[in-house]
Structures are given as structure tokens and as C-alpha cells.
Homo-oligomer: A and B are copies of this chain.
Amino acid sequence: MDAERLEKLFDQVRADKLTISAAVAQLRHLPFEDLGFAKIDHHRALRQGFPEVILGQGKQAKDIAAIVRAMRRRKSNILVTRLDAEKATALKRLRTGLKFHAAAHAATWVQKTLRVRGKGTILVVCAGTSDIPVAEEAVLTATMMGNHVEKLFDVGVAGIHRLLENRLRLDSAAVLIVVAGMEGALPSVVAGLIDKPVIAVPTSVGYGASFNGLSALLGMLNSCAAGVTVVNIDNGFGAGFAASLINRV
């Protein structure tokens, strides 16, 4: 429809029925949505080698399988996040070809070899063993987005020496993702030791006055160390994604 309209405009110009300036003026006064060609390129992410992402939470296994099958035709890699054990089992039965990553509660389908495009290493640090699933989600996301990723787990602030013994590893990272529940203090300590961007991920680990991660979230937002930015509670994917963008700056 819009194509016709445009063609007619050009036609009139070519036939000298319309002056060029009149044609430009007409275009200028059309609201862009009438033109139909003001498409914003939403495939930019894909061209950069990012995977397509499916949020598993809130979707049924059969729906996820259908989406995966559709996506596979587009030749891009796929990351499915937030798959609980039950849904993963159901998905396995559906033979989608997905590879499951139990630790990260996620699944992937890698069609195009992952190329490392991030400049430096993304180091994912976590405070306690209960924070590991969120940390692994960050690791997997950053890996799928083309980064060299390393892990430094179980280095909470109550045993500060374990963190300090790994200062060289902290120093050699380009971007850090720091995952912690409870009081959420680890990002402050880490950011105080280095001069690199730190993305803090509060987790819902804890009980009582942790209020499902609120305590860690507030702690991280109020970090006394500059350079810390924060994502939503348990949002390992978001942290991995943001770190990937930072690692390409």
C-alpha cells in the first residue's frame, strides 16, 4: 500500500506532474507511520553475534519448544533462561536439540560457532554457594554473547581472605559481575579493590529480613564504593548482557 503510494509520487515526479520540492514537501508532511518504511533495524543485535533469548519463566515447555524450532530457522544461536528442573525435563522430552545447563537453569542451542568479540575477560564473582545459579546464568549469558568469562565463586565478605588471595584475578578482569545475597556487601569490597566496572547482582538468597533479596538490593544501591551499578534481584542474564555491552565499548 505504502509502496504504491510512494511509487505514484515518483511517477508524478518523473512525469513532471509534480515538482521535486513539492514531492519532498509531501513526504515531509506524512506522519512516518503512514510511510511504512521507517523500520528500525531490530536485527542489529543479531548481526553482532548475540543469541536470541527466550525467557523460560511463565512459558510452558511446549510453547518454548515451538519458539525454539521457529528460531532455529533464522540461523541464530539461542539462549533459554529460567528453566526450572521440571520444565527442563519436559523440554528434554520434546527433543528440541537444546543443550541443558543445569547449574544455570538454562539451555542453549549453538548453531554458529561462538566468536569472542569482547575485548577483555568478564569475571563473575559470587559470595556463597547458594548464589551460584544466578552467577552461572551470568556466565552462560556472557559466554553466549561472545566473551571470555572466568569464575571466582564462594568468596563472601565474612571470609575476606579468600577474596584477597584472588586479587590478581580481580585485577586482570576487564568487567566484573558480583553476585551476592543476604547483605549484598561483596560488590563494595570488590569495587574498592579495583578500577573496573562492577555490575552488582542481588540474589534472593537469605531468609527473614532479607525480604527475598530486598536487603541485598538496597545494600548494593547504597554501595560506598564508586563504580558499582546494579541490576534486578536474581537477574544474572541482565548482568551478563550488560557486561557484554561494556566489554565491547
Contact = CB atoms under 8 A, between A and B. Distances in A.
Nearest to A7: B20
A109 interface: no
Nearest to A167: B33
Contacts of A209: 213-214, 217-218, 221-222, 232-233
A103 B48 CA distance: 36
Given A174-B249, A231-B229, A233-B207, A39 B161 contact: yes
Interface string A197-235: 101001011111111111111111111111111111111
Nearest to A210: B222
A195 interface: yes
A241 interface: yes
Interface in A153-183: 156-161, 164-168, 174-175, 181-183
Interface stretch (A11-19, A70-78, A89-97): A11-19
A66 interface: no
- What interface size band does chain A fall in? 35 or more
A221 B183 CA distance: 8
A222 B208 CA distance: 8
A246 B157 contact: no
Contact of A33 (B20, B168, B182, B230): B168
A48 B160 contact: no
A10 B121 CA distance: 35
A166 B223 CA distance: 22
A21 B44 CA distance: 25
A151 interface: no
19 contacts: A3-B24, A6-B24, A7-B24, A24-B37, A27-B35, A29-B37, A39-B165, A119-B249, A120-B249, A127-B224, A157-B192, A158-B191, A183-B184, A208-B213, A209-B222, A221-B233, A223-B232, A226-B238, A227-B238
Given A175-B249, A182-B224, A210-B222, 4 more contacts: A10-B10, A24-B37, A202-B208, A218-B218
Interface of A: 3, 6-7, 10-11, 13-14, 16, 20-21, 23-24, 27-42, 44-45, 48, 53, 57-58, 119-120, 127-128, 130, 156-161, 164-168, 174-175, 181-185, 188-189, 191-193, 195-197, 199, 202, 204-235, 237-239, 241-242, 245-247, 249
